Amino acid sequence: MLLSNSITGNIFRDSKLAKEFETEHQNYKRLALSRHEMEKTRLRKKTQDGTDIGIDLTAGIRLRHGDVMSIDSIKILVEQLPEKIIRVRSKEEKNFELFVMLGHIIGNRHRPIAYEDNSIIFPIYSESEFDLFKLFFRDMIEKIELSVEEKVFQPHDAMNVHEHG
């Protein structure tokens, strides 16, 4: 088993590392993790080619999609698995009050959120939750568009919520 206790960088946040990955991607081992697995500081998992990896990070450090770990001369790319999310898009441009209300409702269900493209997105555990959140948003339904997507969800950096499943 290979053991890593640090993150070298992130291909999405470090242009030098991104260029290196672009030219040498075939030399990286890929480690696919769920968002929940990425929140752990200690983890044992196999890369896509079957290499056994142990991760032991300092408390408070979290893995992110695109992180690179180096163990000896072996480079490992962390790839977050896509998950189902609900996208709540405002039909009005920059409606602050609407976003505050949506954030409050979603936050009361202990869900992390992210903001992108005039939308709030948050993870769900099953598509049946779509109907439940339509009920929660019923007073705003004329001002929003709702959809279910599957994507890599990365909560806003300030989010530090504990989810209830």
Q: Is the pLDDT of residue 165 over 80?
A: no
| pLDDT of the residue at 163 | 52
| Backbone torsions φ then ψ of 47, nearest 5 degrees | -70, 175
End-to-end CA distance of the chain: 32
| Rounded distance between C-alpha atoms, residue 53 and residue 62, angstroms | 16
Q: Is the pLDDT of residue 46 over 90?
A: yes
- The amino acid present at 28, given as its one-letter code, is Y
- pTM, entire model: 0.83
* Least reliable range by pLDDT among 59-63, 84-88, 161-165: 161-165
d(CA 36, CA 19): 28
Q: What is the pLDDT of residues 114-128, one digit of tens each?
A: 998 889 999 999 888
Pick the CATH number of 2-80 from 3.40.50.1820, 2.40.110.10, 3.30.70.60, 2.60.260.20: 2.60.260.20
pLDDT cut 90: percent of the chain above it: 76
In the prediction, which pLDDT does 156 show?
76
Three-class SS of 103-160? HHHHHCCCCCCEEECCEEEEECCCCCHHHHHHHHCHHHHHHEEEEEEEECCCCCCCCC
Q: Domain 83-151 class?
A: alpha beta
Domain ranges in the chain are 2-80, 83-151
What does DSSP assign to residue 164? Answer: -
Q: Picking from 4-8, 89-93, 136-140, 147-151, which range would have the lowest pLDDT averaged per residue? A: 89-93
